[in-house]
Amino acid sequence: MRKIVINNYSKVFLTYLAILATLAIITSDIYLPSMPTIKHNLVTTNSLVELTISLFMFGLAVGQLIYGPLSDNFGRYRILSAGLLIFILGSIGCYTSNTITFLLISRFIQAIGACAAMTLWQPMVIDSYGIKNAHNKLALIYPFMGVSPAISPVIGGYLHESYGWRSSFLVLVILGVLLCTITIIFLENKQPSKSSRSGFKKITKNYKRLLTSKKFLNFAALSFLGFGAYYAYLAYSPFLFKSMGYSSKEISMFYFPTTIAYFIGSFASKYSVGSIGKKRSLIIGIIIFFIGAFSLLIIGLFTKPIYAIEVIIPFSFIIVANGFLIPIGMSSAITLFEDISGTAAGAVGFFQSMTAFICSYIVAKISETKGLMAFSIVICIICIMVLFAFMSIFYKKFFRRRLSKYRMQ
């Protein structure tokens, strides 16, 4: 048996989990400042470059449906190692791309690999620390997920200015090799018990359990709708800021405020859940979401912003709200099904990535002609859907009583 060098309760292991948690986000964001240059160098259009984000999210969505059940059957680390090898292959493809078609294909392969880390880090937390301590450990890691969207574009902007747009993908190759080496050499693959393993029929049955649980779906919705809003912003904002006359390096700095906003939201969420409970914490998050979404709508409908701050400030309210919605939604959904936490994490991740794919694709298609107005309308629709999911969780009985009284009349 392989000697376990990294103890599952050490700070090193927590750091390793935090890097796994942020891998997909770093991969999706690091090249954002380079997108206008990629358009020029590969002789393509805004919408096709924006499609590199949409296709990446679609790959994440597809892969997570597979990795969750596989990890429940064959162990987390073995499946994670395979995913990281695929990630390295896709990153090499991105680095060597000379056409937009090859870049799109490579981004999809990269996503299939990255989603192994995105799916499995949460079940690994539950496996290592138990269901009682999982919420606390997840809350420690979520802020790292919040900071990565700001740090990665800054790193990408620096790499772009110093070494060109391909250097961002070379860094991802190196990161993938490092994580894969740690996973293969220093961590032991714990085989699930025979009773916990499942064939195709049981996998199908497990997904049926998840998809027929309205509570699971609504908690997941709080998380994946927030993801959708954020990735719509990622797809649209680089070109909006470029049209305002900002450089790639300046654009990379514009993601810092959203990171600070997420930190504020996630830390406030952590303490508010402990003091006032999950329900009231979500109410705070939804109110903040509404303020940001409808402020953005007013700006999109009645003004033509010439400074980045005019868009960044209202969207930062939405990111603060995500600091409440995403951690509470994700952890609540996954911990409902401790016995199939890998499958549950995969399902939540699928919804997150598919929503991000749909939102970023829609924004990419309509923003080129309709601009900020179209983007702000999409965000407001997401906001209303978040409210509906919350009401379905906590006020279902109230609506049933109202409906039954209406029918009696």
What is the domain partition of the chain in residue ranges?
11-188+204-408
Collapsed DSSP state (helix, strand, coil) of residue 297: helix
Count of C-beta atoms within a 10 Å radius of residue 4 = 12
Neighbouring residues of 268: CB distance < 8 A, sequence distance ≥ 6: 284, 320, 323, 324
Q: Supply the pLDDT for residue 270.
A: 79
- Planar angle of CA 60, 64, 69, nearest 5 degrees: 165
Contact 354, 47 (CB under 8 A): no
Contact 297, 376 (CB under 8 A): yes
Q: In a 10 Å sphere around its CB, with 0-12 CB exposed, 13-18 middle and 19+ buried, how is residue 84 labelled?
A: buried
Which run of H or of E encompasses 36? helix 35-41
Distance between CA 316 and CA 254 in Å, rounded?
Answer: 11
Contact 261, 317 (CB under 8 A): yes
Question: How many Å separate Cα 248 from the centre of its chain?
Answer: 23
Q: In a 10 Å sphere around its CB, with 0-12 CB exposed, 13-18 middle and 19+ buried, how is residue 192 labelled?
A: middle
Distance between CA 252 and CA 106 in Å, rounded?
Answer: 23
Distance between CA 391 and CA 386 in Å, rounded?
Answer: 9
**Nearest CA-CA partner of 153 in 31, 335, 248, 55:** 31
- Planar angle of CA 347, 232, 217, nearest 5 degrees: 25
Q: Supply the pLDDT for residue 294.
A: 93
Residues across the chain: 409
Q: Supply the pLDDT for residue 4.
A: 45
Q: Supply the pLDDT for residue 53.
A: 87
Q: Supply the pLDDT for residue 218.
A: 92
Q: What is the mean pLDDT of each run of 10 residues along the chain (409 residues)?
A: 49 86 90 89 87 88 80 80 95 95 95 90 78 70 74 88 92 95 77 52 83 91 90 85 86 84 85 87 94 93 88 93 89 82 79 85 74 87 93 74 57
Q: In a 10 Å sphere around its CB, with 0-12 CB exposed, 13-18 middle and 19+ buried, how is residue 401 labelled?
A: exposed
Q: In a 10 Å sphere around its CB, with 0-12 CB exposed, 13-18 middle and 19+ buried, how is residue 94 labelled?
A: buried
End-to-end CA distance of the chain: 70
Collapsed DSSP state (helix, strand, coil) of residue 38: helix
Per-position DSSP letters for 176-227, written without gaps between them: HHHHHHHHHHH---PPPPGGG---HHHHHHHHHHHHT-HHHHHHHHHHHHHH
Tokens of 194: 């025979």
Burial 50-65 (b: 16+ CB within 10 A, else e): bbbbbbbbbbbbbbbb
- Planar angle of CA 143, 393, 65, nearest 5 degrees: 60
SS (H, E, C) 329-384: HHHHHHHHHHHHHHHHHHHHHHHHHHHHHHHHHHHHHHHHHHCHHHHHHHHHHHHH
Q: Which CATH class is domain 11-188+204-408?
A: mainly alpha
